[in-house]
Structure 1
Amino acid sequence: MNKPPALGAGALGEALATGLPGRAAARPAPSDTDDAAIAARTDSYFNRTKRIVARFGDARVTYAVFLRRPVVSAPRLMLDWLRAVAAARGTEVRIDLVHQEGQWVGAGDPLVYITGSFVALSDLETLLLQKLGAACVAAHNAYQMCLELPQVAFLAMEARHCAGAEMQEMMAYAASVGSRAAQQEGARGFIGNANDATAHWFGQKSGYGTMPHALIGYAGSTVRAAEMFHETYPDDPLTVLVDYFGREVTDGLEVARRFPDLAAAGRLAVRLDTHGGRFLEGLDPAESYAVLERHAPGAIRRYRSETELRHLVGTGVSAAAIWRMREALDEAGFPKVRIVASSGFGVGKCRVMAEARAPIDVVGTGSFIPDAWSETYATADIVEYDGVPRVKVGREFLLRRGEARRKDGVGQ
């Protein structure tokens, strides 16, 4: 796979979003750096080790931190926390960042070396690893998704799938890192996200979004929900969910006819979020094949698995469904109405959509969140004690090789 370069400043694209990615360092809450809170959350054998070392004499140690699979380096949340703890404890910690934020990291390749007092560092390992592994894997996923569909804008919708605020912050940060790495290679990447709290990672002041299905149920019709939104937010672009009543094409066209000025100006979008239990309006297996034969005949001949076939011509938001929506809009005279697609757009589905040249303008997704959580486990091993290289048998690959390392390079 392509290896992303280190991150730099880059435009996030026009029309839907402007501005630079959020670069402000995170500020851990005081409770996150409190010794009692750390002791309560860390593994007990690290707490015991701290007491033993304090009793028998401190040492200056170096930890090597790595993951067992390829990732994109996303260490900022971990390093910000580590620096804050070191400051609170009045201890010095040296950070040698081998792979800068946004760089590709090979499996087993040390991502960072951390050097300092064994007493001061020994009880931090559990929390340190928690803040690193999942972010790096999610950044890798986001990077791959953006490269699969380089002309498509992405909207991060991870919050609803996260286990609390800390994970929400971590996943948004990770998506922004992977996105900016892909932008360095020409992709549009993530233009924003769906909530205000983490919008800063994407260079935005607030989250994007118009309506959930619940508003359409409340309004009683898709058109009425669109009217309510537009009356309340008359200056905003309008994106309308069209699958609530199972009439994606019919309701999409009715909304476009109701708002012809928005449609002509490119400020109207239909969002396809058809669930996997049914086909988009007017489609079935045979018609889905026919749609792809009209627009991307090669894709249907190159599928490699049942999952890929489902993404192409199956139920839910398939490539055929997106092409059918585009056909209907164009035939009705609405070529500037955009299509927003959501529902399970992970790396694999994005790759299939690229194969089918699906006419997507925006993808809304939280599927950069790692599927296999066991792949997110970061590991740390001490590789030096008072300057003497020493590591457990089998981990010799973690020992330092040369001194050509950039020190403390996050965000520079």
Structure 2
Amino acid sequence: MPRRAAAPAAAPDTDDAVITARTDSYFNRTKQIVQRFGDARVTYAVFLRRPVVSAPRLALDWMRAVAKARGVEIQIDLVHEEGTWVGAGDPLIYVTGSFVALSDLETLLLQKLGAACVAAHNAYQMCLELPKVAFLAMEARHCAGAEMQEMMAYAAAIGSRAAQAEGAKGFIGNANDLTAHWFGQKAGYGTMPHALIGYAGNTVRAAEMFHEAFPSDALTVLVDYFGREVTDGLAVARRFPELAAAGRLSMRLDTHGGRFLEGLDPAESYAVLERHAPGAIRRYRSETELRYLVGTGVSAAAIWSMREQLDAAGFPKVRIVASSGFGVGKCRVMAEAKAPIDVVGTGSFIPDAWSETYATADIVDYDGTPRVKVGREFLLRHEQRRKRNGGGQ
């Protein structure tokens, strides 16, 4: 069989051929028409239909790079600074320049803006719901390639900084090296996946292997592989008493939704919360909220139960890392239950409803004349509205 030729290196998305190939055809045709009939100076207003946190850096860096590559001037007016809240329908940026130069950029610009802003808003909300908890971004495994991975890590970092400005701990890092820079780190955090425990055949042995390979690192151990979270967690703590006493040992709870944490069932889950957060279970709850509180998987009851067992065994400084579906809603329920979480590992700031991430751009000015389709007048600047309505300065 002949050898397969290596794939050519991908051209940067500032290359005109790449932009033409990736953009919607009607924009490409518009560019050709305007080139034929005469250019115009236009202003685009870019917005989203839902509240977000402004996360425009990747989009704007790309716009500036395209302008430089094309040798054209593009004026960017960022209405909402990075990390600030933006209301639904509120223009986030205005972009002004040659219609010929801008007309084929809309598709890629919107791709780089909308999802980042929604993810940043999700991360911001999650951090505020659990302000005393540190977060670890685990976005990479849920992303469709490196470009999305970079975008989601950036968004989590921006949402986190907005929450940190309000007193939250926020995201302290992430789980891979490529995007660690967004969190001010040189490398990703992480110790072991379930596969290492399967390889070792024993949770304690997996912990020993890790500690022997990385003796200076803090140790976080997954304890759900064999369904013995408490038994194996305590065994690891007894094997590493010095790490436990120094607060350098953590138990990561990642129990899947098909079963309860060791020792729990519905009745015992209610009993655990009755001891620690009775108010959380006495108000009306949706089915999803009840599952987060007393259901299978990593529930508030599971976290409280693990904390009880660790404390009773003399390991009050062993930390608990919780993962598995920690989106905004689950973080809110955990806060109401006062769940004793030290760190949350999550990629659930990635938007669930992708249709909510669609950003939109409309031209609102042609050569100094305000003009926008009916129903989008709210995108006009105040001075444009006055001019459109015949008002003076």
Q: How far off its partner does 1:165 sit?
A: 0.4
Contact 1:303/1:309 (CA < 8 Å) preserved in 2?
no
Q: How far off its partner does 1:402 sit?
A: 5.0
The residue identity in structure 2 corresponding to 1:362 is V
1:121-147 alpha-carbon deviations (Å, 9 max, x no partner): 000000000000000000000000000
Matched, 1:266 2:252: no
Task: Tell me the SS of whatever aligns to 2:144.
Answer: coil
Matched, 1:141 2:122: yes
Structure 2: distance between partners of 1:269 and 1:171: 26
Structure 2: distance between partners of 1:180 and 1:62: 31
Specify the alignment match of 1:24 in structure 2. Answer: none
The residue identity in structure 2 corresponding to 1:332 is A
1:243 to 221, 224, 238: 224
The residue identity in structure 2 corresponding to 1:92 is E
Structure 1: distance between partners of 2:178 and 2:98: 35
Q: How far off its partner does 1:83 sit?
A: 0.2
Specify the alignment match of 2:7 in structure 1. Answer: none
Q: 1:209 to 1:402 in 2, by over 3 A?
A: farther
Specify the alignment match of 1:122 in structure 2. Answer: 103
Specify the alignment match of 1:113 in structure 2. Answer: 94
After superposition, residues 277-288 of structure 1 pair within 5 angstroms as: 277-288=258-269
The residue identity in structure 2 corresponding to 1:236 is D
Specify the alignment match of 1:104 in structure 2. Answer: 85
Specify the alignment match of 2:363 in structure 1. Answer: 382
Contact 2:136/2:343 (CA < 8 Å) preserved in 1?
yes
Structure 1: distance between partners of 2:200 and 2:369: 70
Specify the alignment match of 2:319 in structure 1. Answer: 338
Contact 1:73/1:136 (CA < 8 Å) preserved in 2?
yes
Q: How far off its partner does 1:53 sit?
A: 0.2
Structure 1: distance between partners of 2:282 and 2:173: 35
After superposition, residues 357-396 of structure 1 pair within 5 angstroms as: 357-396=338-377
Structure 2: distance between partners of 1:353 and 1:301: 15
Matched, 1:184 2:135: no
The residue identity in structure 2 corresponding to 1:323 is W
Task: Tell me the SS of whatever aligns to 1:33.
Answer: coil
Contact 2:123/2:156 (CA < 8 Å) preserved in 1?
yes
Specify the alignment match of 1:54 in structure 2. Answer: 35
Specify the alignment match of 2:328 in structure 1. Answer: 347
Q: How far off its partner does 1:32 sit?
A: 1.1
Regions of 4+ moved over 6 Å: none
Matched, 1:196 2:203: no
User: How many residues are aligned here?
Assistant: 375
Structure 2: distance between partners of 1:232 and 1:72: 41
Structure 2: distance between partners of 1:32 and 1:100: 25
Q: How far off its partner does 1:30 sit?
A: 5.7
After superposition, residues 314-329 of structure 1 pair within 5 angstroms as: 314-329=295-310
Structure 2: segments with no counterpart, 5+ residues? 1-9, 385-393
Structure 2: distance between partners of 1:31 and 1:301: 56
Contact 1:63/1:384 (CA < 8 Å) preserved in 2?
yes
Q: How far off its partner does 1:302 sit?
A: 2.2
Structure 2: distance between partners of 1:394 and 1:350: 37
Structure 2: distance between partners of 1:114 and 1:72: 19
The residue identity in structure 1 corresponding to 2:267 is A
Specify the alignment match of 1:408 in structure 2. Answer: none
The residue identity in structure 2 corresponding to 1:160 is R
Matched, 1:210 2:191: yes
1:292-325 alpha-carbon deviations (Å, 9 max, x no partner): 0000000001242010000000000000000000
Over aligned residues, Cα RMSD in angstroms? 0.9
1:221 to 181, 202, 218: 202
1:196-239 alpha-carbon deviations (Å, 9 max, x no partner): 00000000000000000000000000000000000000000000
Structure 1: segments with no counterpart, 5+ residues? 1-28, 404-412
The residue identity in structure 2 corresponding to 1:187 is A
Instruction: Percent identity, please.
Output: 89
The residue identity in structure 1 corresponding to 2:26 is Y
TM-score normalised by length of structure 2: 0.95
Structure 2: distance between partners of 1:117 and 1:303: 56
Structure 2: distance between partners of 1:161 and 1:219: 26
Matched, 1:307 2:288: yes
Contact 2:11/2:18 (CA < 8 Å) preserved in 1?
no
Task: Tell me the SS of whatever aligns to 1:322.
Answer: helix
Contact 1:230/1:238 (CA < 8 Å) preserved in 2?
yes
Specify the alignment match of 2:233 in structure 1. Answer: 252
Larger radius of gyration: 2
Structure 2: distance between partners of 1:302 and 1:136: 33
